[in-house]
Amino acid sequence: MSNSFNNDDKSNQKIRNRVSISLKMHRSFKKMKRSIQKIAETSTSVQPHCVFVENMQDDEKQPPYIFPERLSSLTCQTGFSKDEIRELYRAFKQHCPRGAVTTNDLKPAYAKLFPLGDPAKYTQIVFNTFDKDRDGIVSFGDLLNEIAFISNGDVEEKLCWIFRFYDLNGDGYITRKEMLIIITAIYEMLHNGQTVQRMANRHVDKVFEKMDVDKDGVISQEEFMNSCKNDIVIQNQLAMFDKFW
């Protein structure tokens, strides 16, 4: 009888751990989306802080509207309607009239969202995810395509995006070091204390215990996708993203 109770306790603990891991993943992903909204929103509460590339000339400025051919192309690429793209573009132009986003654009938004912690590392990680060519700037097209993956993609596309976010070097595997870098950045953003590293280490241990099925010390994309697809909690949270925008 006692063995039965012990097994039930262990089973319940595993369920609680799974829910805790997926909830933290959801919160971190949702906070990232909120930061993206800060760039796209038309609110005047956040003033533009754009830093532009020094050699960008006046004739390289983004036009005040999107040409019809470009608009049709973006509609096909992203799934956004033409009106939605126009609205996002107007907001983008308001905050970044020279057509370039840098890490300095994200810092004020994150500072407002997370005043109790230090969001510097996480801000850089988010920016690097959008800055595909690593030139230090993100164009409107780049930003729109990433937002489309996050908000309009199906479950498979959302999970691929999340995996790519954690796979810092893009080699198709999430190492313990990569996971620790991001989880530590998340905890530093949310907390201001000396227990951050200990909490991050425990979090990473739980993730790897769940997702590293073959116990080779890395999480492959297949392991990540299968683990998330078989977790009803994560699936429900991904479905919530559709309503967020």
| pLDDT at position 147 | 84
CA nearest to 140, candidates 175, 104, 191, 94: 94
Rounded to an integer, what distance in angstroms lies between the CA atom of residue 134 and that of residue 119? 20
Lowest mean per-residue pLDDT among 114-128, 148-162, 214-228: 148-162
Quote the crossing angle between the two packed helices 196-211 and 2-40, to the nearest 10°. 110
| pLDDT at position 46 | 33
Residue 12 confidence class, pLDDT cut points 50, 70, 90:
low
Confirm if 39 and 95 have CB atoms less than 8 A apart: yes
pLDDT at 224 over 60: yes
* Single pTM value for the model: 0.69
Lowest mean per-residue pLDDT among 82-86, 109-113, 168-172: 109-113
| pLDDT at position 47 | 32
pLDDT tens, residue by residue, 23-78: 555 555 555 555 555 544 433 333 333 333 333 333 344 444 445 557 888 888 88
| pLDDT at position 54 | 31
pLDDT at 244 over 50: no
DSSP 36-47: HHHHH---TTS-
| pLDDT at position 69 | 55
| pLDDT at position 158 | 86
The residue ranking higher by pLDDT, 90 or 1, is: 90
Tell me the percentage of the chain whose pLDDT exceeds 70.
68
| pLDDT at position 124 | 92
The residue ranking higher by pLDDT, 15 or 148, is: 148
